[in-house]
Amino acid sequence: MTKRVAADGLFISLSLVVSYIEVMLPIPLGIPGVKIGLANAVIMVLLFFSTWQRALGISVLRIVLAGFLFGNPMTIVYSLAGGVLSLFVMVILKKMEEFSAVGISVGGGVAHNLGQLTVAVLLMENAKIYYYAPVLLITGTIAGIAIGALTGVLIKKMPKQLF
Amino acid sequence: MKKKDVILISVVLVIALISFGILKFMQKDGKEVIVTMNGKMVYTTDLREDQVYKIPVKDGENVMEISDGKVRMKKADCPDQICKHHRAIEKSGETIVCLPHKVVIEISSDTKEQELDGITR
């Protein structure tokens, strides 16, 4: 139990640090807010080595903490929608046992972006925002490939007894 | 990577490129600038009229600037500053969104069409 608490603290800290790095290093695409989603590598490692419930817990805690630390409460709503939908899709893709970490991560990245966009459309009551969908599909895929490749390396190198 | 990974990535990219192509194909030169707050239209103006307009946001500030047929968010006091860093827009269908203030600036090629299908409730 103590080991579990310590490990969870480590995962939350790690995901917060990578979230902060992303805030410091924006990707210049003309459309701000596009991120690679480094924290998802932490969530995916948990998904592979532990349970989805634990991955969900760490993910939600990270989003709420990151929102208050270096975002604003409003962004928490968007991040939660993206994070929860992304995890849901990744759990399903992993259960299918047809995809490697890259495929699972791409599914998660795309789901994350579309989830956020849908919440934006609902909250702003303006469907014109779906104009961003094609760009977000592409950036979600690229980010998904990168994070999937990273996760692939991590699950080979990380010691299993940590979990 | 497995074979199914490649199929998944290809399917997503094909969908993205097709929808991107359709959007580009339907895009015309912008004529009208429409500002909405909480889904309600608060201001419309001609894209060719250079101006600076202060959007009436509650507890905040958003200032839009039109110059040379392009619109950008000149000032915003929201914490994330995403709208301010967005590139200037000029074609129909393009939008600048300020999520914290629920403000959307969009460009239309025609005023009437906008009133019919631009706002969802």
Q: What is the ipTM of this complex?
A: 0.90
Distance (Å, rounded) from C-alpha A135 to C-alpha B80?
Answer: 20
| Interval A51-72 mean pLDDT | 93
Write down the pLDDT at residue B114. Answer: 46
**Is the pLDDT confidence value at A138 over 80?**
yes
What is the rounded average pLDDT for all residues in chain A? 92
Q: How far is B103 from chain A (nearest CA, A)?
A: 7
Structural domains in chain A?
Answer: 2-162 (1.10.1760.20)
Closest-CA residue of B relative to A133 is: B16
Write down the pLDDT at residue B33. Answer: 94
Residues of A in contact with B44 (CB under 8 A): none
Cβ-defined contact of A103 to B99 (cutoff 8 Å): no
Identify the CA nearest to A86 among candidates A110, A120, A57. Answer: A110
Write down the pLDDT at residue B62. Answer: 92
Q: Report whether B75 contacts B62 (CB < 8 A).
A: yes
Q: Model's pTM, two decimal places? A: 0.86
Q: How far is A107 from chain B (nearest CA, A)?
A: 8
Identify the CA nearest to A80 among candidates A60, A61, A66. Answer: A60
| Interval A139-153 mean pLDDT | 96
Encoding tokens for residue B59? 């507890």
Write down the pLDDT at residue B112. Answer: 52
Would strands B103-108 and B70-76 be described as parallel, antiparallel, or unpaired? unpaired
Contacting A with CB below 8 Å, chain B residues are 1-2, 4-5, 8-9, 12-13, 15-17, 19-20, 23, 36, 38-39, 78-82, 85-87, 93-95, 97, 99-100, 102, 104, 106, 118-121
What is the rounded average pLDDT for all residues in chain B? 87
Cβ-defined contact of B2 to A135 (cutoff 8 Å): no
- Contact of A29 with chain B, judged by CB distance below 8 Å, is answered with no
The structure tokens 């805030």 sit at: A23
**Is the pLDDT confidence value at B121 over 50?**
no
| Interval B13-39 mean pLDDT | 91
Best interface-test mutation with A: which of B7, B44, B99, B119 has the largest number of A CBs within 10 A? B99
Task: Give burial (CB, 10 Å; 0-12/13-18/19+) of A39.
Answer: buried
Burial A58-74 (b: 16+ CB within 10 A, else e): bbbebbebbbeebbeeb
| Interval A120-124 mean pLDDT | 89
Decide: helix, strand or coil at residue A49.
Answer: helix
**Is the pLDDT confidence value at A103 over 90?**
yes
Q: Report whether B73 contacts B63 (CB < 8 A).
A: yes
